[in-house]
């Protein structure tokens, strides 16, 4: 499918994805329209029950982790941050924030043991 993925998803019937990965934030120019409350509503519509929205939020200039955490809370979702802080193992560090209505899934040991604390930023506005 060509074009803006969010706009295409808005026009599509629900897809029932188990995982929907949003991976567009590593450059200097952040596509803000992909990380808004409105976007999360579109993503949620396309998830299967208990599905996960996975935001790849690795960025050298912006801390997007509290932004995605606030989006989760505003949209009735749980969130965990999975951070790979061992560049020697994988070549570079990587941060993923996983959102789901299925809190039990995010608390499973296979995920929870790799989760890093999310420090909320209540002084930041929701995007």
pLDDT in 10s for each residue of the chain, 127 residues: 566 777 778 888 889 999 999 987 777 778 888 899 999 999 999 999 999 999 999 888 889 999 999 999 999 999 999 987 665 555 667 899 999 999 999 999 999 999 999 999 999 888 8
Model-level pTM? 0.88
In what helix (H) or strand (E) does residue 64 lie, and over which residues does it extend? none
pLDDT of residue 97: 97
- Pick from 1, 19, 18: which is nearest to 10 by CA? 1
Whole-angstrom distance between the N-terminal and C-terminal Cα of the chain?
A: 26
Question: Looking at residue 33, what is its pLDDT?
Answer: 87
């Amino acid at each position: 499918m060509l074009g803006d993925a969010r706009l295409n998803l808005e026009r599509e019937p629900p897809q029932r994805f188990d995982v929907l990965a949003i991976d567009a934030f590593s450059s200097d120019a952040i596509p803000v329209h992909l990380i808004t409350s409105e976007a999360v509503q579109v993503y949620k519509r396309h998830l299967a029950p208990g599905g996960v929205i996975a935001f790849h939020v690795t960025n050298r200039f912006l801390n997007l982790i509290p932004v995605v955490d606030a989006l989760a809370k505003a949209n009735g979702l749980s969130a965990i941050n999975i951070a790979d802080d061992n560049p020697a193992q994988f070549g570079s560090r990587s941060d993923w924030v996983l959102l789901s209505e299925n809190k039990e899934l995010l608390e499973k040991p296979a995920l929870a043991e790799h989760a890093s604390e999310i420090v909320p930023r209540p002084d930041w506005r929701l995007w």
